[in-house]
Chain A
């Protein structure tokens, strides 16, 4: 059991956390023809938009109700009404997803009531789904916004069981957490289809943010799960939730439609995937395809090859709870020590992380811990680059945002194959860093023996070096 420590600082330095509303908006981006709308000042949207664009290198639909000072005092009804009408007229969306922000939560806008009023006033909107989710900036973090938005989508859009109550046992709902990339979702789709299952991903960011070139220009999302497909999710045989953040959405689904669910907290690593494959085999009634038996072998071999490099590493890792739990679990399985662990928000998984202490904090905390504990591998999102440069550590970028490297949308971590690739990437990073920075020279040997003071940090890399030699 890890001890979870809350922050004691008044000033967050180099934040790790992203805000809840953009997590919510991100969930709506996995729906086809959607326009996410942040109910707040235009800066709330512009910052989020820039962040998504820099991460995915894609055009991202995101709108704002552009709350002014006066509107904030008088209430945001008119802004919301105008925004919805404008979006409806200009971009013809299939769905508008509305997330509140700190501003509209602080002044207490009752958006649910507003929406009722807007619907009664503008009959042309009768058939346009409007999903509202409350996501104040001053609570929770990115993954909370995502989880809440998906739960709301299920609550509002999924239809209850039909009169005949027929289910299609091969239809499976998948509720992926926000830590899965479009690449991960595509990988899972292939795995499920190989078992003869027919998956519906909610949300499906693989359809919209996987970086394909559409034939026509669309101002809304260019792909993702359609509203009609969401409506029919109640007829599925199972719901698979990935990440603890999706537990609530899966529960809502079960209450509403009776579809049973299973939560997979991890899909990175050998054992979690063994469980996943077994489960898929059970629900589909098919044996595990040959392809995955081979992939399992490849992963096992990759683990053998890479444990020389990853094993014994003192890892400093900062990520949102679900991603942290998944990755840190894999690293622990590989023999790494989770020395400095920082996360963004409360979650029931974090106390099960295989480390002494998990800090809910920022990148300054992570950097400080990494320094005092002589960590030799840093894993966090792109904002960790300054810390990595200062500490001269090999730096693996993961999570959101990843703005200074390409291919964020295709980074893979799920399945046997995804885990294998991830392990190779991290191990190669460690090897390259050692080659560039820790080449042994005659002088180095001399100083190492004469000056034992640098033993803490250097010897651990040295030991790993000897192990392969």
Chain B
């Protein structure tokens, strides 16, 4: 068993990672140790990443070894869906106290494991390490090993304390734990030539179930999904799959690659977001399976399913295209799946003014460039203030992002749609794409935005008052004042003729031209020509009133 530091180093040297592949030898040695900037960092820690990646295993008890903050502040915050056990939604933590920190928390951890087994008897327990027990030297690997033997039940240490790095590193550390302790420890009841693994799919809002019917129809069996709606037994026997699809490329690439290495399971990176991607993924799956010995008719059957589904989805999206004409969207995600969503949005006729590429690999960026054209507006890192400005200046009509930046859009009174983990709609597959377009339309066409952008009544009033010069306002209410004002305002400066005289003349004689005004008054109509013209074109009835 290698140390945590060695495991982290090992993960950083990821040949399957395009970003890593493009680095020089020296850079690669440094790994992805991008230092976090204190005071301007956002995002979760490695523990968060590990928990997020494994939590969707539904029948496992997830025990967090640490003080209350790590689990107490974060539990039950994910919308992953389960078709069976709901044990994963129950939160278990050792809630370390000061005494435990002083005397060590290992005994408490062991007791906690026993309590869980007595109460719930799950098929396995995942124990998550956090910063503080890591600091005081609690050896969770040893405790888990001892507990596994004593209780004859898999107790898996997930060694990913928060301070070792980012959430993404945590995803990978979680993957390592699966590779080390879980995958390959059990055998499936039976196998078929159509068995696949989905890696890095979390079944948020149950979106996997929008794709599963298609797979079922093709006879493709999801032997194991890591980790959405996953069960311990399925992961443990996942090494018997014939092919694998890596869904969220960033989070678990190490699992896919190492399973290819160890068990010869070929994998490809794909997504079920957008029509093209869904089709492409289905094709790839079929191709890989056929290459591994599945009957070749699978390819033809896949094509016919794709053709049917595409036609269906396009027909459903069609009506929205004219509605989206000229509408611009700003896409702020972790950048992971940017390109797949970009393609999806373009299919619905939206114009993209920018997309974030913070976590995207070079490959991802290339794909975005291809999709959006040369001058694609790729955003490396955008501060909330810049986002706000962009929306406020109406350079975009709608923002699609994760939950944390939603208020930037909402406070600018701009439509916003959640496309990250906490979302409540499922956007996967062909059905999901139609749903996404529906949601965008619902948001864009809501009559609420216009009302919100209207100035408040007092603002409108204040503005009107500003435009009306205060003396004018006062004059309008008082005829005597109006008269003196009329007499006081000189129009012809050369011959001192006032406004009142000219207006009276115009009214009395029905004058229509400057020349006529010159005839009837002393005004010269030279330098005051424009002013007299102004009086002539202004409302005659108002002038009439004024004259009376």
Contacts and interface: CB of A to CB of B under 8 A. Distances in A.
A18 B39 CA distance: 23
A325 B89 CA distance: 29
A47 B67 contact: no
24 contacts: A10-B115, A11-B115, A12-B68, A12-B95, A13-B91, A17-B95, A41-B162, A42-B45, A43-B44, A43-B47, A51-B73, A58-B407, A59-B407, A64-B39, A72-B163, A84-B39, A86-B40, A102-B67, A102-B69, A102-B96, A137-B70, A214-B411, A217-B411, A386-B89
A65 B38 contact: yes
Contact of B73 (A18, A42, A59, A66): A18
Interface string A60-75: 0001111111011000
Contacts of B35: 68
Contact of B68 (A19, A37, A63): A19
A276 to B, nearest CB: 33
A408 to B, nearest CB: 15
Contact of A37 (B39, B67, B91, B95): B39
Nearest to A214: B411
B117 to A, nearest CB: 10
A103 interface: yes
B162 A50 contact: no
Contact of A80 (B36, B38, B92): B38
Given A15-B68, A47-B74, A72-B135, A86 B413 contact: no
A266 B70 CA distance: 31
B288 to A, nearest CB: 37
Contacts of B70: 43, 47, 137
A44 B42 CA distance: 11
Contacts, number: 211
A11 B132 contact: no
B42 A46 contact: yes
A136 interface: yes
B503 interface: no
Contacts of B66: 102
Interface in B15-62: 35-48
Contacts of B98: 136, 138-139
B538 interface: no
A304 interface: no
Contacts of A459: none
A84 B39 CA distance: 6
Contact of A90 (B40, B100, B408): B40
Given A10-B111, A41-B162, A137-B69, A63 B40 contact: yes
Given A19-B68, A82-B38, A217-B384, A68 B100 contact: no
Interface in B384-417: 384-385, 388-389, 403-404, 407-408, 411-413
B185 interface: no
A83 interface: yes
Interface in A77-124: 79-80, 82-87, 90, 101-103, 106-107
A42 to B, nearest CB: 5
A375 B133 CA distance: 38
Contact of A15 (B36, B95, B403): B95
A15 B72 contact: yes
A366 B119 CA distance: 16
A9 B67 contact: no
The 6 nearest A-B residue pairs measured at CB: A43-B45, A86-B39, A83-B39, A11-B112, A10-B111, A19-B69
Contacts of B69: 19, 21-22, 44, 47-48, 101-102, 137
Most buried by A among B38, B93, B108: B38
A48 B76 contact: no
B75 interface: yes
Given A138-B97, A217-B388, A46 B115 contact: no
B94 interface: yes
A349 interface: no
A411 B20 CA distance: 51
A46 B48 contact: yes
A219 interface: yes
A214 B412 CA distance: 9
A18 B135 contact: no
B317 interface: no
Contacts of B97: 138-139
B71 interface: yes
Most buried by B among A14, A42, A213: A42
Most buried by A among B36, B45, B47, B113: B45
Nearest to B389: A217
Given A82-B37, A106-B132, A217-B389, 10 more contacts: A13-B90, A14-B91, A17-B95, A18-B68, A41-B131, A43-B44, A43-B47, A50-B404, A68-B163, A103-B132
Nearest to A80: B38
Interface in B111-168: 111-116, 119, 131-132, 135-136, 161-166
Contact of A11 (B38, B75, B92, B166): B92
A49 interface: yes
